[in-house]
Amino acid sequence: MSAEHDKELTDIALCYQALGTDISATPAQLERLYVSLAAEYKKKLLSADPAIRDAARANLEQVGVMYQKIKGSITYRAKENESANAAEARSRRAARGPEVRVTVHCACCNGLIPKGLRTCPICKSPLYSATEQKMRAHLAPKRLAVYFVIVSAVSLAVLGARNPGKFSTQAVGALLQNN
């Protein structure tokens, strides 16, 4: 079987070469080549010289046989399937529409970068989502200390308003003198 397969590949490669192309030609390229060669030989069939007509007839027949041999080969069918799959993939991409890339500006270097990255490829600084930015802004250590002081002051003010005797300035002064 291997010898038959090698012989077929050799025959097909020779057919491609005789048609003036190489084995890597796509089915569409091969068909265009065949059509152009056939048209050229058909023009020569209209010649007044019988030798040119006979040569053109023989060449047209040979080109047709080689083209049919190539079309019947495994190599050609594989390329045909490959081309069909590529065309289908292109049509799917076209049906989806153009790909839209959303970009944002880096907060550090102001570079234009694709959205969704975790670090800036330009300045290597970390990138945060809107929620993370708000959390970092409001829960920073200095802000937490300020919040603690405010909450403590408000709590003491509320306790002082509820129990005026325990939190008066005289009671606090007496408490400090005892310690």
Q: Read off the amino acid at residue 33.
A: L
pLDDT at 58: 93
Backbone angles phi, psi at 105, to 5 degrees: -95, 135
Spatial separation of the C-alpha atoms in residues 174 and 72, rounded to whole Å: 109
pLDDT at 172: 63
pLDDT at 59: 92
Q: pLDDT for 108-125, tens place per residue? A: 888 788 888 888 887 888
pLDDT at 171: 64
Spatial separation of the C-alpha atoms in residues 178 and 161, rounded to whole Å: 24
DSSP H helical ranges for 72-140:
74-96, 130-138
Delimit the domains of the chain by residue range: 2-96, 101-129, 140-179
Q: Indicate the pLDDT class of residue 176, thresholds 50, 70 and 90.
A: low
**pTM of the entire predicted model:** 0.49
Q: Which own/partner contact pairs does 78-81 have at CB distance under 8 Å and 24+ positions apart? A: 79/26, 79/27, 80/27
Does position 85 have pLDDT exceeding 90, yes or no? no
Nearest CA among 121, 116, 86, 89 for reference residue 104: 116
pLDDT at 86: 84
Spatial separation of the C-alpha atoms in residues 1 and 21, rounded to whole Å: 27
Spatial separation of the C-alpha atoms in residues 155 and 168, rounded to whole Å: 15
pLDDT at 175: 64
Find the distance separating the first CA and the last CA of the chain, reported in whole Å. 106
Q: pLDDT for 32-71, tens place per residue? A: 999 999 999 999 988 899 999 999 999 999 999 999 998 8
Q: pLDDT for 125-169, tens place per residue? A: 888 888 888 888 888 888 889 889 999 888 888 887 787 776 666
